[in-house]
């Protein structure tokens, strides 16, 4: 007898990054032209040595690092987030408005579990971050696509027309994954005003905030003394300090929302990774100059991507920022078929726009995401050389 299967889970598409890796099966890459993997937006380099030493010291000498900790995270890390956010955004964030999660994906799942039930609706701009869509599908929550406007920037007025009595939240990612777009402060404010007027939550995922090209605060949402009646911010330490394997993220929201989130976190992980939290706190307190250097390097790679596509006029650069370039390809075939061909013919592993758009989307068939953060200047140059050689 076949065991039962949750129909919402069965209907959820498989993880795109894992799916793309399966395209490598049976394909050989000669030494003179190795695979260039520009499919995943995660650092592959180790954390800086001093941070690894801090982790090792805690593992050896801090007994508390091996025990359960508070469900909402270490108080010292929560307090540091509150202090730094207050200074950086020019507003007021308190420790009671912060919580730590096992990565930013878990932060999204925890927040959404408190907001939406099966049959409810959440608005996601397209192209969307596929893990957000996957979680909503698993929960039976309807995803309402909001096509992005010029420069891949979503518009609050367009979202207004999509709101129904079942709408619970609007989700924005800035800098955007997959599009790379940096949302203007006025765009975020317009969405905040819309959500507040309609009694919705505005979720702003700032996983890639540390690599924003703009100086100063990217928005002024936290300067509103009542920000937590509408805004829920998500953040990741994985990108800033190369802590992907330690799984450390954060939620900044009202204490009432965090009270509900605590129920989810206690049922799923009990507490965040202790060593990861210690590492994140140490990084926040000691690595600001190092992180500035990381940002400068990412911005240099971004500039190289913009320049490279300027020399490929048949390709259209739709957005570029943080870790991503999002492009429109010039070929007749759909992007999912093209990306599989690029593995075989060019040694390039990228993700097709079909993974970031609703099923059957004509736009998705024309689009590709390139995650360039893990290739240096030589790798970027080689990527463009190979793209220039691709034929229809």
Question: Which domains can be identified in the chain, with CATH numbers?
Answer: 7-46+290-389 (3.90.1150.10), 61-287 (3.40.640.10)
What CA–CA distances, in Å, run from 234 to 13, 63, 106, 112, 307? 24, 29, 10, 12, 31
Q: For all residues of the chain together, what is the average pLDDT?
A: 95
Write the DSSP symbol of residue 102.
S
Strand partners, 176: none
pLDDT band at residue 45 using 50, 70 and 90 as cut-offs: confident
Instruction: Please answer whether residues 37 and 349 qualify as being in contact, where contact means their C-beta atoms are separated by less than 8 angstroms.
Output: yes
Dihedrals phi, psi of 85, to nearest 5 degrees: -65, -40
Q: Tokens in use for 377? A: 């200047």
Q: What global pTM score does this model have?
A: 0.94
Dihedrals phi, psi of 114, to nearest 5 degrees: -90, -10
Instruction: Please answer whether residues 172 and 153 qualify as being in contact, where contact means their C-beta atoms are separated by less than 8 angstroms.
Output: no
Q: What is the pLDDT of residues 272-301, one digit of tens each?
A: 999 999 999 999 999 999 999 999 999 999
pLDDT band at residue 2 using 50, 70 and 90 as cut-offs: confident
Write the DSSP symbol of residue 334.
-
Check residue 43 and give its pLDDT: 79
pLDDT band at residue 74 using 50, 70 and 90 as cut-offs: very high
Write the DSSP symbol of residue 14.
P
Dihedrals phi, psi of 6, to nearest 5 degrees: -55, 120
User: Burial letters for 201-228: b for 16+ Cβ neighbours within 10 Å, e otherwise?
Assistant: bbbbbbbbbbbbeeeebbbbbbebeebb
Q: Residue 193 pLDDT > 80, yes or no?
A: yes
pLDDT band at residue 392 using 50, 70 and 90 as cut-offs: confident
What CA–CA distances, in Å, run from 358 to 21, 128, 150, 177, 364? 21, 9, 19, 16, 8
Check residue 17 and give its pLDDT: 87
């Amino acid at each position: 007898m076949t065991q039962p299967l949750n129909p919402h889970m069965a209907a959820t598409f498989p993880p795109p990054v894992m799916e793309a890796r399966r395209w490598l099966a049976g394909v050989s890459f000669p030494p003179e032209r190795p695979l260039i993997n520009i499919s995943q937006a995660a650092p592959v380099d180790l954390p800086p040595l001093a941070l690894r030493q801090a982790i090792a010291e805690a593992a050896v000498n801090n007994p508390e690092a091996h025990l359960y900790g508070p469900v909402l995270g270490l108080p010292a890390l929560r307090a540091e987030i509150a202090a730094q956010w207050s200074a950086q955004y020019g507003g007021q964030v308190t420790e009671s408005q912060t919580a730590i999660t096992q990565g930013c994906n878990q932060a999204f799942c925890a927040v959404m579990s408190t907001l939406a039930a099966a049959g409810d609706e959440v608005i996601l701009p397209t192209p969307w971050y596929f893990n957000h869509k996957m979680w909503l599908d698993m929960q039976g929550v309807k995803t309402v696509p909001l096509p992005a406007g010029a420069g891949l920037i979503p518009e609050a007025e367009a979202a207004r027309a999509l709101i129904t009595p079942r709408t619970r939240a609007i989700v924005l990612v800035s800098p955007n994954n997959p599009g790379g777009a940096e949302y203007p402060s006025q765009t975020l404010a317009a969405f905040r005003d819309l959500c507040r007027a309609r009694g919705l939550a505005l979720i702003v995922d700032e996983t890639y905030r540390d690599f924003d090209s703009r100086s100063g605060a990217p928005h002024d949402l936290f300067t509103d003394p009542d920000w937590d009646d509408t805004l829920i911010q998500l953040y990741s330490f994985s990108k800033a300090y190369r802590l992907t394997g330690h799984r450390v993220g954060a939620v900044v929201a009202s204490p009432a929302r965090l009270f509900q989130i605590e129920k989810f976190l206690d049922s799923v992980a009990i507490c965040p990774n202790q060593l990861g939290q210690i590492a994140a706190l140490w990084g926040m307190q000691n690595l600001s100059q190092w992180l500035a250097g990381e940002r400068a390097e990412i911005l240099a790679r971004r500039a190289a991507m913009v320049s490279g596509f300027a020399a490929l006029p048949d390709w259209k650069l739709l957005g570029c920022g943080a870790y991503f370039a999002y492009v429109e390809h010039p070929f007749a075939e759909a992007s999912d078929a093209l990306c599989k061909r690029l593995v075989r013919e060019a040694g390039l592993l990228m993700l097709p726009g079909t993974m970031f758009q609703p099923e059957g989307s004509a736009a998705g068939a024309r689009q590709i995401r390139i995650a360039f953060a893990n290739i240096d200047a030589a790798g970027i140059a080689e990527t463009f050389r190979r793209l220039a050689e691709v034929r229809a």
